[in-house]
Structure 1
Amino acid sequence: MSVGELEWCYQVNALLYRVQKQDKQALQSLYELTSGKLLGLIFRIVKDEPEAEDVLQDVFIKVWLQANQYDGKGSAWAWLCVMARNSSLDRLRKIQKHPHVSTDEDEELLNSLTEEFDAHNNIALNRCLYTLKNQVRKSILMSYLHGYSHSELAKTMSVPLGTMKAWIRRGLQELKLCLEA
């Protein structure tokens, strides 16, 4: 991770701690710092710009109301991404809309996942993703990048739900270990 990226992560963490203390200016600064990237993540899931903007607004309302739920384990940025992903999935379920994603190739998914990282992180992420079995890699990418639920993936890939959950859980554990190495 570059010095600039580390500084950015520290800034996000510091701002979220200030938001926990109900600092409105910190929320504004956090929004300015992260909203572009979060909107990109949300849009990849909901596939509709006005819906994505609404979800982003909902995410920051939740950040304001639920900042105290961030316990400092892991990065604040990851916490924000999980909140954005979950809010996006909730919106999809609410409007009963589903993104169209090709299940034939995961190259497009991989490219869209890595576009927000620098070249060094792209190499590490690509290397680690390609150490996973093909169906595990595809399941993780379709779930975390395009918002498929575990049950939708199980049906799409014709496997039992328990198998899908195990693939994703073990795959994420393998990715974490690989990226930490």
Structure 2
Amino acid sequence: MDNLEWNRQVNALLYRIQNRDQLALRLLYELCSGKVLGLISRIVNEQHEAEDVLQDVFIKIWNQAEQHNNQGAAWAWICVMSRNSSLDRLRKLQKHPHISTDENDELINALIYNDDGPDNIALNRCLYALKEQTRSSVLQSYLYGYSHNELAQKMSVPLGTMKAWIRRGLQELKLCLEA
């Protein structure tokens, strides 16, 4: 199944979940749980904790599906929910991710090579179009769950600068992907 068809299925299943279709939730889990667990595991290093977060995410999808407005991609909404749930779990455990993020190529490869469909090729192209510090900030924040404050300290820049890099990077990514 190509990436476009996969995204269409995710969107359709979330729409069915909004109408309280339990079978759709099971199908969405079968379709997405591997990718969602991969995202969560990049932030939450302990496997059993990551699996707990995965279950929490799908419970939230069931309970909060009506909050998705069907104008954006369902997969993006699920990713944001997964990231936020992972960060919440880290805060609860009072731990930080212990992942080396020195090599941006490693980060990009981890993001891109989950699926080599046309959307990921475009994302790769757009990521490489960003300035180095912006790309690093966005990837470390969204792949590994570092907070703006943690990244500012790690990269020895003011917090406002870090927030601007991430905000600008996300805006540039969005414009590039829409082009």
The one-character-per-residue Cα deviations of 1:103-157 (angstroms, maximum 9, x if unpaired) are 5321211111112121544432222112111111100010000110111111111
The 3 A distance-change label for structure 1 pair 127 and 6 is closer
Which residues in structure 2 correspond to 1:1-181 (within 5 Å)?
4-118=2-116, 120-181=118-179
1:43 & 1:103 partners in 2: Cα distance?
Answer: 14
2:86 & 2:15 partners in 1: Cα distance?
Answer: 24
TM-score of the superposed pair, with normalisation by structure 1? 0.93
Unaligned 5+ runs, structure 2: none
DSSP-derived class of the 1:142 partner: helix
Give the alignment's Cα RMSD to 1 decimal. 1.4
Residue identity matched to 2:10: V
The 3 A distance-change label for structure 1 pair 119 and 5 is closer
TM-score of the superposed pair, with normalisation by structure 2? 0.94
Residue identity matched to 1:45: I
Q: CA deviation at 1:4?
A: 2.4
Q: Which moved more, 1:64-73 or 1:101-110?
A: 101-110
Task: Report the number of matched residues.
Answer: 179
Q: CA deviation at 1:12?
A: 0.8
